[in-house]
A = this chain, B = another copy of it.
């Protein structure tokens, strides 16, 4: 039981906001005039505007975006679906998306999918559409097993970053094939013949496309490609695979890792084994991670333009939201960044 003398603040949410009406009353004008001032309409007399501005300040007025959204039918926010920010270059793409969106006056709403299999459940994906967003960017990195299920977002504009390209959606992605070709050719041009590829998880479209391009490029050069090894994108898996390579009977003279983190781990394993990089074996990565130049040795890698991918994806989505037609399936080219982890073939390794 509570005593009646204790006055309890009744509002559950402590911040009771002043509405446009309150300001109107306070300033002795109509709500419409307050609205005009808030929206910087020109047809308000200066002294009226000042009066309203003063009242807004006095009452701590801030427009209620829910009401604005309701009127406009727009949320001015784009949803980004991710599985994890901490792996891969997802956060770099997200950063670019957030920046591009912000520049366009949009906010970015994170719609994390805690469990990838969730997406395969109709209901779960359907929930996305209830979110206060005008469109969705799916940074999936291919963890979705059956993208057909994405049909469920039929109602909202959707742009996919990273996909196998077989889906009827708008896709913006790094040109994986071109990048993998660049990496493989670089090694071939250095004279390497025994080039091993360490791929990403089987489920990943990017990994698959990089591996395929590697295979094609080897074949085109008349080289035999040894069986592709597989990591899970993490540096730890790179260490494991690297040790496996280092323990093998026929060590390659060069390794093309499907991402920089695995390349880092692979080099770690090679150092453990006492191999010189690139003296004994050359290593190329993929991504151009922020720290790649500080790895030991500085990593030769394929520069992915995550910023451009994020920017393009956002621009595309925004134009879809505006109902404009837009070009689909934009592929962003990569660049080879030669640093110190690759070199010409030298002697034969003593195993």
Q: Which residues of A contact B (CB under 8 A)?
A: 11-15, 17, 60, 62-67, 69-70, 73-75, 77, 84-86, 91-92, 94-95, 98-99, 102-103, 107-112, 114, 126, 129-132, 134, 154-157, 234-236, 238-239, 261, 264-265, 267-268, 271, 290-291, 293-296, 298, 320-323
B14 & A157 in contact (Cβ 8 Å cutoff) = yes
Distance between Cα atoms of A239 and B91 in the complex (Å):
24
One complex includes copies of this chain to the number of 2
- Chain B nearest CB from A281 CB (Å) reads 14
Distance between Cα atoms of A130 and B268 in the complex (Å):
49
A107 & B107 in contact (Cβ 8 Å cutoff) = no
Contact of A15 (CB < 8 Å), options: B110, B157, B271: B157
Distance between Cα atoms of A75 and B70 in the complex (Å):
13
A235 & B291 in contact (Cβ 8 Å cutoff) = yes
Distance between Cα atoms of A239 and B293 in the complex (Å):
9
Distance between Cα atoms of A60 and B62 in the complex (Å):
34
B296 & A296 in contact (Cβ 8 Å cutoff) = yes
- Chain B nearest CB from A307 CB (Å) reads 9
Contacts of A322 in B (CB 8 A): 12-13
Contacts of A74 in B (CB 8 A): 13
Contact of A13 (CB < 8 Å), options: B11, B108, B114, B321: B321
A236 & B112 in contact (Cβ 8 Å cutoff) = no
What are 7 A-B contacts with C-beta separation under 8 Å? A13-B321, A17-B155, A95-B112, A108-B112, A132-B132, A239-B294, A261-B294
Distance between Cα atoms of A12 and B322 in the complex (Å):
6
Cβ-closest chain B residue relative to A91: B91
B112 & A99 in contact (Cβ 8 Å cutoff) = yes
Contacts of A73 in B (CB 8 A): 13, 66
A70 & B66 in contact (Cβ 8 Å cutoff) = yes
* Residue among A132, A235, A267 with max Cβ neighbours from chain B (10 Å): A132
B63 & A66 in contact (Cβ 8 Å cutoff) = no
Contacts of A77 in B (CB 8 A): 109, 132
B99 & A91 in contact (Cβ 8 Å cutoff) = no
- Chain B nearest CB from A337 CB (Å) reads 14
B66 & A236 in contact (Cβ 8 Å cutoff) = no
Distance between Cα atoms of A73 and B13 in the complex (Å):
9
- Chain B nearest CB from A325 CB (Å) reads 10
B85 & A98 in contact (Cβ 8 Å cutoff) = yes
Interface pairs A-B: 6 shortest CB-CB: A235-B294, A66-B69, A91-B91, A108-B110, A85-B95, A235-B291
Contacts of A63 in B (CB 8 A): 130
B12 & A235 in contact (Cβ 8 Å cutoff) = no
- Chain B nearest CB from A16 CB (Å) reads 9
Distance between Cα atoms of A143 and B103 in the complex (Å):
20
Distance between Cα atoms of A159 and B93 in the complex (Å):
26
